[in-house]
Amino acid sequence: MIEIKLGDIAHLDFQVDAIVNAANAALIPGGGVDGALNRAAGPELKQAMEKIGGTTVGSAVITPAFALPANYVIHAVGPRYIDGKHNEAALLSAAYEAVFQFAHEYKLHSLALPVLSSGIYGYPKVDAAKILYEVANRPENQHFAMSVIVFTEEWLSIFEKLK
């Protein structure tokens, strides 16, 4: 089940098993979702990310959530959008697949997700939403309670058209 919610993923007013972070490959806290989650979680999240040391675009890693309202943070690395001809769609899909692989492995029930790569990485919003929706709606992923947390109302109409 996918629910689209307007809000700030770093300040949820509900508990989830895991919050998905839009991380960079170096796993160094940056701006956007990543920076906001790190500020809200406390310095331990940055330290946990540093211990891992990095991951590749299209993959994910998992850490404890520390002060966030979740048990885990799944740090997914989506691609920077160039022109759609540099494997961006496959890499974005792979990042979401990595998130759901952790969700299955850790037997999670609920996730809060941003739309990966759609901020400073420049992925076109409609295309990014379609990829998230496609992976999340696969039969093996439909039993998760998923809250896609969006920061602006523009996203609500984008996802409404995908239903």
Catalytic positions are 34
Distance CA 45, CA 31 (A): 15
Tokens of 4: 């689209």
| Sheet with 145-150, edge to edge strand ranges | 2-6, 145-150, 110-113, 16-22, 70-76, 60-64
Count other C-beta atoms under 10 Å from residue 154's C-beta: 9
